[in-house]
């Protein structure tokens, strides 16, 4: 089975909005246009998307002109020295970490990319459901 790469878009809380699975040789920049088109179809109210520095080279203009989305690139500058926390940079990575706690997404057993996407969606639904039913801690005043 050839290698696969998972591409996700999340909201600011890290909850899954769109997922797509491609062959491993498809780069993030190439997969981004299809992912952003799906985002626009499914979530018309979203107007701002943050991406890392690998998503430059005309994608910002294409998003603005074709999808009416503002694509803001979050990247290091030369003025930054050492470790610097960048705003909104690791939300998607955190979501991947949450999903890898589930057994199925951690290993790619699926034959079809659509099946892999469904496994990711199912794992996120399970995670969100557990967050909803978790007992709330009583506030002490």
Q: What is the pLDDT of residue 141?
A: 54
Given a contact cutoff of 8 angstroms between Cβ atoms, the answer to whether 39 and 21 are in contact is no
DSSP per-residue string spanning the chain: ---EEEEEEE-TT--EEEEEEEETTS-HHHHHHHHHHHHHHH-TT--EEEEEGGG-TTHHHHIIIII--EEEEE---TT--S--PPTTTTHHHHHHHHHHTSHHHHS---SSHHHHHHHHHHHHHHHHHHHHHSPPPPP--
Q: What is the mean pLDDT of each run of 10 residues along the chain (141 residues)?
A: 74 84 82 90 90 75 90 73 69 74 66 80 84 67 54
Given a contact cutoff of 8 angstroms between Cβ atoms, the answer to whether 62 and 33 are in contact is yes
Q: What is the pLDDT of residue 1?
A: 44
Q: What is the pLDDT of residue 20?
A: 87
Full-model pTM: 0.71
Count of CB atoms within 10 A of residue 17's CB?
17
Count of CB atoms within 10 A of residue 64's CB?
12
Q: Which residues contact 3 (CB under 8 A, 6 or more apart)?
A: 23, 24, 25
Q: What is the pLDDT of residue 43?
A: 92
Q: What is the pLDDT of residue 101?
A: 74
């Amino acid at each position: 089975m050839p290698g696969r790469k998972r591409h996700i878009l999340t909201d600011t809380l890290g909850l899954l909005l769109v997922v797509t699975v491609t062959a491993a040789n498809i780069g993030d920049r190439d997969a981004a246009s299809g992912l952003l088109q799906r985002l626009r179809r499914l979530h018309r109210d979203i107007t701002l998307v943050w991406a890392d520095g690998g998503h430059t080279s005309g994608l910002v203009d294409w998003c603005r002109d074709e999808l009416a989305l503002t694509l803001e690139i979050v990247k290091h500058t030369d003025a930054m020295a050492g470790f610097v926390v960048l705003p909104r940079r690791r939300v998607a990575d955190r979501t991947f970490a949450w999903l890898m706690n589930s057994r199925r997404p951690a290993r790619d057993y699926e034959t079809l990319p659509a099946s892999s996407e469904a496994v990711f969606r199912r794992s996120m639904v399970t995670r969100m459901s557990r967050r909803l039913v978790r007992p709330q801690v009583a506030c002490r005043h």
